[in-house]
Amino acid sequence: MVGCTFCSRLPKVLQNELAYTVYDINPVSPGHALIIPYRHVERIFDVTPLEYKAMYDLMLEMEALLQKELSPDGYNLWANCGKTAGQLVMHAHLHLIPRYKNQGIHIMEHMQGNVD
């Protein structure tokens, strides 16, 4: 879709036939990644079961990569659906956010500036 950041050529970390991953340009923590379907749909609820499976497969690959490179202590996985929920780019995507002991961030506080 013209004008969509996620439909443009972004530097991909991992990809498969239906989806890809990139690092978030405004990361909550080191290694914060986005998992995005190639097909432009606005909400995660709009992806097909095959697209969701492709995204799930990439989530597992990305977790293994992050575990090897950064050794996080945990993860948050989330999707913002709609502007009121904090979605800035209206193209479905999942956030894979590595968490580290003593990190001291609160994800919801980080997101509040995005919500009306």
Active site residues: 93
Beta bridge partners of 94: 35
Phi, psi (rounded to 5 degrees) for 10: -105, 150
Q: What is the DSSP letter of 106?
A: -
